[in-house]
Amino acid sequence: MVGQGKIRAVALLVAVAVVAALVAGALTAKAGAGGGGSKGNLLWVQPLRDHPVHRLMQAGFMQRCKQIGWTCEIVGNPSASEFDVPATIALAEASLARKEFKAAGIYSPDPAIYPFIRRVSKQGLPVVSWHIPIKQGTVQGLTATTGTDPAAYARASAVAIGRRIGGRGTVAVTEGSFNTVENLVAKTFTATMKQRYPNVKVLKPQVEGFEPSAAISKAVSILQANQDVSAAFSTTGGGPATWAGAQRQAGKRLVIIGMDYVRQNLDLVRKGDVYAVVGQPLYEESARTADLLAALASGKKVPYSNNLPAPIITKAKLGKYYALLKRAGQ
């Protein structure tokens, strides 16, 4: 039989572990607009919380929350390389149990999180998703989305690379993971290249993953197996660093386009290691998410789809995005 002292000790350890998990998984921004009180609480749920791209999204959300007078909380598994939906849902449910929220933003690249969206909606909370295009009516409980058109920037990337390599050569394609959006981008890129530049060969997409050293090793193996590769296109935010590292290790010079204007990627474009990055509106779509959640929480109606542009950012266009990062505190 276990003694009462040991039971209390175990209970204390469990309590400490729960609190630590909540602290690790949740970040909160309190309203500060005009020095007034908060209009209420908004929740942001995002697996892979510590990934650089995700941190930029969160900066846009948090800053906009402060501007419009809402208290906003970010919840997600604390990792930059592991996309853990179950752990994130557990943290989100803990937040929902201890605090009253008026609306929730839920990052939804994986269908595994769709049932959670339904549960949150049934609790009476409007739900907005961002970055990942989701057709209206396909996810029960999803009120609105914001982001960009992946097919559009896939086509623009194919044209940019095709022009840069003079309509000839071989292009490698990698994805962070095989998922609905990245698969669409890779497929559209390949189809556009075939149509516009029939003399360019596009290799079958391969997964590079999210761990940097493993991703570079994967890209190097692609180059070793395909000596004629002259360009690379990555559908994920770590792609510029992946292919810049791979070309350095392989002693090659590639025309590289990847995703996202995080500082590391802009620096690679500035140094000439990467030709361009796709300007997915990470900060802008996240600020827009805050606006949509605030409107819905206030009883207003919003459009389901709220798309923003995603330009191809070459060296000549870097200034605007460095300024945006500075504004985001990054």
pLDDT per residue over 306-319, tens digit each?
Answer: 999 999 999 999 99
Which one, of 265, 243, 259, lies nearest residue 312 by Cα? Answer: 259
| Same-domain pairing of 142 and 286 | yes
Domain that holds residue 133: 24-148+282-308
In a domain, 4, yes or no: no
| Same-domain pairing of 289 and 144 | yes
| Same-domain pairing of 286 and 180 | no
Bigger pLDDT: 83 vs 29: 83
The answer to whether the CB of 85 falls within 8 A of the CB of 108 is no
State percent of the chain over pLDDT 90: 82
In a domain, 173, yes or no: yes
| Same-domain pairing of 193 and 51 | no
Per-residue pLDDT at 234 exceeds 50? yes
Instruction: Please tell me the least confidently modeled range out of 10-14, 71-75, 219-223, 312-316.
Output: 10-14
| Same-domain pairing of 117 and 196 | no
Count how many domains the chain has: 2
In a domain, 244, yes or no: yes
In a domain, 328, yes or no: no
| Same-domain pairing of 216 and 270 | yes
Q: What's the confidence (pLDDT) of residue 19?
A: 38
| Same-domain pairing of 294 and 214 | no
| Residue 284, token pair as written in the block | 């802008």
| Same-domain pairing of 203 and 166 | yes
User: For tokens 């350095």, what's the residue?
Assistant: 248
Whole-model pTM over 0.85: no
| Same-domain pairing of 156 and 115 | no
Choose one of 232, 260, 278: the last residue of a domain: 278
Q: What's the confidence (pLDDT) of residue 30?
A: 64
Dihedral over Cα of 203, 207, 239, 262: its sign: positive
**Average of per-residue pLDDT across 190-205:** 98
| Same-domain pairing of 182 and 72 | no
Give me the DSSP letters along 151-209: HHHHHHHHHHHHHHTTT-EEEEEEESS--HHHHHHHHHHHHHHHHH-TTEEEPPPEE--
**Average of per-residue pLDDT across 124-136:** 95
The answer to whether the CB of 278 falls within 8 A of the CB of 313 is yes
**Average of per-residue pLDDT across 97-126:** 96
In a domain, 317, yes or no: no
**What CATH code is carried by the domain that includes residue 211?**
3.40.50.2300
In a domain, 54, yes or no: yes
pLDDT per residue over 28-46, tens digit each?
Answer: 666 554 445 789 999 999 9
**Cα–Cα distance, 231 to 130 (Å, whole number):** 30
Q: What's the confidence (pLDDT) of residue 8?
A: 39
| Same-domain pairing of 134 and 247 | no
**Predicted confidence band of residue 26 (pLDDT cuts 50, 70, 90):** low
In a domain, 154, yes or no: yes
In a domain, 246, yes or no: yes
The answer to whether the CB of 212 falls within 8 A of the CB of 241 is yes
| Same-domain pairing of 202 and 230 | yes
Per-residue pLDDT at 10 exceeds 70? no
